[in-house]
Each structure stands twice: as structure tokens, then as C-alpha cells.
Amino acid sequence: MSPGKFITLEGVDGAGKSTHLGFVADWLRAQSRDVVVTREPGGTPLGETLRELLLHRDMDPDTELLLMFAARQQHLAELIRPALSRGVWVVSDRFTDASYAYQCGGRGIPAERVAALEAWVQRGFAPDLTLLFDVPPDVAEARRAAARTADRFEREADRFFSRVRHAYLDRARSEPARIRVLDARQGIDALQVEIAALLQELG
Ligand code: TMP
């Protein structure tokens, strides 16, 4: 049996990526794939407990980074790696690109620290495809304002999200084959046509 593929969705808070998670999963299921949908931080009982702390408790930026990777290690060990080896495709709402974008871009932690944790926890493992939902800061801001009560990240200032966005776009420029940038200002239907084409390319 061939292993499953790992697809991640990324973007600043308010980019609208979560709207498209279900579409990705349904599209793959229509191609007779077994699919599991998950998220970070989270995805396992321990990861979801860490998520509560990460989203609601104030903490030092390095503690935040370490907890993101503690949750990620558990996610890989308990869910992602076993599913892929059973031939199941895994679709995750965020993964390590978010640590580069938020903890490095947003909080200013040096990228070498994230790279060291990534090497330790992932041992060369990376997503097969990353969909980066990109929107200008004012659009993301308006969408965040319309959303439910804000968590610790969503309460950050606009300039924080501007740094996060630029860090995401820098990563996309350095890994253009894996990270595909989508203009998330488009309507849902137009975006889904683009997403379907990228999934098709993945085979
Ligand atoms: P969500 O709102 O998309 O569910 O993500 C929760 C928050 O966690 C979001 O504001 C981004 C943040 N985050 C990081 O800062 N670093 C990470 O590595 C991950 C996975 C998420």
C-alpha cells in the first residue's frame, strides 16, 4: 500500500483557511482517499490540552515555541505518522510553517531555534503540499473583527500580523514547489477551483 500524503493549510488569522479544510477533505474523499482532518496546535488529547494553554495563558515566547513543538511531536507520533503509513491522507489546519511565521516573524525568535526543533521533531519529514491563504492586513483584520471572541494570538496588533504574513510569504518564496500561495480575497468558488487543481497535481 502506498503511504498517504500530508497536506497543510496556512495563513494569518482571518485569512479564511478553515473554511476550505472541509472542501479539501471532501475533494480527496471523492477520489476514494481515506482522509483524516486535524489541526495544530492540537490534534491529539494532549495536544488539545496544550492548545488551551497556548491560546489563553500568557507565557514567554520561547515557552510558546517549545509547547508548539511538544504538541507537534505528540501529533506526529500519535496521529500523523501512523495514519500516513496506513495509506490515510492527513489534512492539517496549520503545521511548522506557522511556527516560522508566528514565533519567528511575529514574536522575533531567531529562525535557527525553530530549525533546530524542526530537525529534532520531524527528522526531515515535511508536508507534501501547503496551501497558503494570503490576504492583505485590512481584509484579515475585518474578518478577525467579525469572528467570535479573540484568543491570545487574535488580540495581537495589526503590525504583528503584517510580520506574520511576510514571514509566510518569505517561506513560500524559498519553497515554491511545496508552498502554493492562494489569493484569499477571491470568492469561495474561485478559490476552490484553484485548490482542486493543486490537489489534482498532487496525484
Ligand atoms: P487557529 O486559530 O488557526 O486554530 O490557530 C491557533 C493559533 O495558533 C493561531 O493564532 C496561530 C497560532 N500558532 C502559532 O503561533 N504557531 C504554530 O506553530 C501554530 C501551529 C499555531
Nearest to 88 by CA among 156, 160, 7: 7
Answer whether 161 contacts ligand 1 (Cβ < 6 A). no
In a domain, 180, yes or no: yes
In a domain, 70, yes or no: yes
Render each residue's pLDDT in the chain as its tens digit; 203 residues. 789 999 999 999 988 898 899 999 999 999 999 999 999 999 999 999 999 999 999 999 999 999 999 999 999 999 999 999 999 999 999 999 999 999 999 999 999 999 999 999 999 999 999 999 999 988 998 988 887 788 999 999 899 999 999 999 999 999 999 999 999 999 999 999 999 999 999 98
Nearest to 44 by CA among 86, 74, 81: 74
Q: How far apart are the first and last CA of the chain?
A: 15
Answer whether 40 contacts ligand 1 (Cβ < 6 A). yes
Q: Is the pTM of this model over 0.85?
A: yes
Number of domains in the chain: 1
In a domain, 1, yes or no: no
CATH of the domain at 62: 3.40.50.300
Q: Do the Cβ atoms of 4 and 86 come closer than 8 Å?
A: yes
Residue 121: which domain range? Answer: 6-202
Interatomic CA distance for residues 100 and 130, integer angstroms: 14
Nearest to 132 by CA among 187, 175, 162, 73: 175
Q: Do the Cβ atoms of 103 and 65 come closer than 8 Å?
A: yes
Spell out a b/e string for 180-193, using b for 16 or more CB atoms within 10 Å of the CB, else e.
bbbebeeeeeebbe
Answer whether 153 contacts ligand 1 (Cβ < 6 A). yes
CA of 58 to the centre of ligand 1 (A): 15
